[in-house]
């Protein structure tokens, strides 16, 4: 347990240093580009503050949903994302576990969208805080009461919903891509469920890599299969029938 936590924490600290070094504040970049090039960039529309936040949250979460799907669909992106799925124990430290190259690519695209759209910093910050807190809950060893889980899942991604996304079964891991809001998966037909009683039998991780060492974590994109949809006959879907 301790080596796994230390590995996840080491990756997290590495990523924190990278984002501090590589990505200046989007508003500063926009101002410098406009001053240097003499061009006005796109500006986020000034709406009533009561509408700005929900619309901004929907915009960012829609983008993150599709980016997450691309990290599963595009072979070289999956190689980067596979480290997050190579954790055979799911807890809060899993939310920190992203390969540095994946982190730079994903954060860079997110950062670029903020620069291009002139997205308000306060809304972006609020979204990232909410998404980070919820991510810790989604990956934690927690189970919400069934009635609360059912209600919350209509709007946000719950622990049960995201837990299935980390299943070792490819058909299950290629579902439930939402970050903050759960309805994107229903809209785009990627929502997947299993009976509540079946969650105890879910195996997490990748079949070929069970909690790799820190060195293997960094090399995993070179070692893992290039697709997340590889199937294995040894994994059955009996829990869908509640058996």
Do the domain assignments include residue 196? Answer: yes
Do the domain assignments include residue 41? Answer: no
Do the domain assignments include residue 33? Answer: no
* pLDDT for residue 36: 61
The sign of the dihedral angle between the CA atoms of 31, 35, 36, 39 is positive
Do the domain assignments include residue 45? Answer: no
Do the domain assignments include residue 79? Answer: yes
Of residues 225 and 166, which shows the higher confidence score?
166
How many domains in the chain?
1
What rounded mean pLDDT belongs to the chain?
Answer: 83
Encoded tokens for 98 = 């992203």
Do the domain assignments include residue 230? Answer: no
Q: Where are the beta strands (DSSP E) in the chain?
A: none
Q: Supply the pTM of this predicted model.
A: 0.83
Greatest C-alpha distance within the chain: 66
Do the domain assignments include residue 100? Answer: yes
Q: What are the pLDDT digits (tens) for 16-36?
A: 888 878 777 766 666 666 656
Distance between CA atoms of residues 155 and 146, nearest Å:
15
Do the domain assignments include residue 108? Answer: yes
Exposure b/e, 105-129, CB count within 10 A at least 16 = b:
bbbeebbebbbebbbbeebbeebee
Residue 115 pLDDT level (bands cut at 50, 70, 90): confident
State the residue range of the domain holding 134: 2-28+54-224
Residues 6 or more apart whose Cβ sits within 8 Å of residue 184: 61, 62, 65, 177, 178, 190
- C-alpha distances in angstroms, 133 versus 154, 160, 184? 18, 16, 19
């Amino acid at each position: 347990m301790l080596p796994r936590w230390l590995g996840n924490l080491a990756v997290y600290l590495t990523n924190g240093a990278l984002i501090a070094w590589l990505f200046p504040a989007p508003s500063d970049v926009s101002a410098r580009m406009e001053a240097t090039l003499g061009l006005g960039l796109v500006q986020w529309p000034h709406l009533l503050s009561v509408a700005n936040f929900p619309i901004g949250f929907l915009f960012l979460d829609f983008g993150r949903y599709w980016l997450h799907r691309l990290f599963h669909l595009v072979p070289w992106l999956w190689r980067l994302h596979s480290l997050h799925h190579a954790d055979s124990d799911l807890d809060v430290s899993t939310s920190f576990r992203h390969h540095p190259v994946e982190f730079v690519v994903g954060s860079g695209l997110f950062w670029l969208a903020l620069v291009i759209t002139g997205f308000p910093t306060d809304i972006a910050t609020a979204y990232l805080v909410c998404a980070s807190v919820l991510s810790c809950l989604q990956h934690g060893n927690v189970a919400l009461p069934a009635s609360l889980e059912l209600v919350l899942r209509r709007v946000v991604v719950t622990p049960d919903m995201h837990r299935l996304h980390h299943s070792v079964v490819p058909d299950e891991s290629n579902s439930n891509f939402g970050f903050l809001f759960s309805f994107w998966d229903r809209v785009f037909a990627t929502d997947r469920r299993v009976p509540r009683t079946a969650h105890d039998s879910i195996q997490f991780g990748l079949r070929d890599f069970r909690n790799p060492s820190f060195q293997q974590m960094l090399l995993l994109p070179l070692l893992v299969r290039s697709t997340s949809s590889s199937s294995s006959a040894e994994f059955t879907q009996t829990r869908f029938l509640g058996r």
